[in-house]
Amino acid sequence: MIAEQEVQLMKAAYGILYEVENCLRTYIKYNMEDCYDIHWFYYAPRIVLKRPPSKSFENLLFSDYETYFRNYPKAFKNLPSKFYTQLRQIYPLRNKISHHHLLSLSEFELLERNSTFLINFMENNLNKSLITSYM
């Protein structure tokens, strides 16, 4: 039988993962649209990568989001190396959560800590962009 503590831990982990993934998508969409206009998904890859997108944005894997940060530096200026490090540390945790493997307490704390940093960074930078675009 599964202990109630394990169920609660994994529910919380899934919630954190859900929030960080959706925040990543929003952050990417907003910055790409701001830099490459409303049709960025079709326009930017042809200009920067010299090819059309290989799959729809909604079907990207979690690890694919990082490619946007690297391939489109014009849209994602000043991302600190800590952002990449903390994002990469989430990859194996995301796989464990997605495949219903129990996280250890230290893994859960890492997920919580890294997600908090990533979400705060993206929200703060998204808000700054929104504020400066209205000035």
Report the domain count for the chain: 1
Q: What is the per-residue DSSP string for 67-99?
A: HHHHH-TTTSTT--HHHHHHHHHHHHHHHHHHT
pLDDT recorded at residue 129: 55
DSSP 31: H
pLDDT recorded at residue 128: 62
d(CA 61, CA 90): 13
Helix axes 4-36, 81-98, angle to 10 degrees: 130
Alpha carbon dihedral 44, 48, 53, 58, in 10-degree steps, equals -50
d(CA 69, CA 49): 13
Tell me the backbone φ, ψ of residue 7, rounded to 5 degrees: -60, -45
Does the structure show a pLDDT above 50 at 102? yes
pLDDT recorded at residue 131: 41
pLDDT recorded at residue 52: 87
109 touches 116 (CB < 8 A) = no
Per-residue pLDDT tens for 55-97?
Answer: 888 888 888 999 999 999 999 988 999 999 999 999 999 999 9
pLDDT recorded at residue 133: 47
Which domain does 91 fall in, by range?
4-133
Does the structure show a pLDDT above 80 at 130? no
Per-residue pLDDT tens for 9-65?
Answer: 999 999 999 999 999 999 999 999 999 999 999 989 999 999 888 888 888 888 899
Task: State the pTM of this model.
Answer: 0.88
d(CA 34, CA 21): 20
What would the mean pLDDT of 3-7 be, rounded to a whole number?
94
